Amino acid sequence: MGLIEVTGSIQVKETFEGETLDISFYAKARRFRPTTDLIKLAASYGIVPETIKRNFRREYGKTPPVTVRDERYDTAGKRLRPRRIPNSTLKRFPSYQEEQARIGTLNDILLSSGFDLEETPRQCQSKFLEQGGAVA
């Protein structure tokens, strides 16, 4: 339908003193953004970026506050992409439950304080797409 712009995810190797490190990297997540058509469609129903917080509530608690990933290396010592360890496995460990409770408490404090990003949604065309990048 062409209502959502989807950017590709990337992984970037880190550098130290100008040299690229083979064993560590960081990643940027895929992004989903409204297209002009979606913004116009929403506006026809009275939903505009300036008032979006009045139309939609944020939902908290859908994902666990703590996720754990493993650390793996191949036989040459190169770091492999970490895998998420399922919560069903982690629930057996008291330290995991304590950390979940601690982070949950911090999240509750931030939520009750009214902490929120002030920036309202807006259409944004990424430089990746402007340079001919493929949309996944």
pLDDT digits (tens, 9 = 90+) for 121-131: 454 444 444 55
Residues sharing a CB contact under 8 Å with residue 86, sequence separation 6 or more, in sequence order? none
Kindly tell me if the per-residue pLDDT of 60 is higher than 90. no
pLDDT of 115 reads: 56
Of 7, 28, 29, nearest in space to 136 by CA: 7
pLDDT tens per residue across span 68-122: 888 888 999 888 888 888 888 888 888 888 988 898 888 888 777 765 555 554 5
pTM of the predicted model as reported, rounded to 2 decimal places: 0.41
Give the tens place of pLDDT for each residue, 35-54.
889 989 989 998 887 887 77
Distances in Å between the alpha carbon of 49 and those of 7, 42, 121, 122, 126? 20, 9, 5, 6, 18
pLDDT, average across residues 1-26: 71
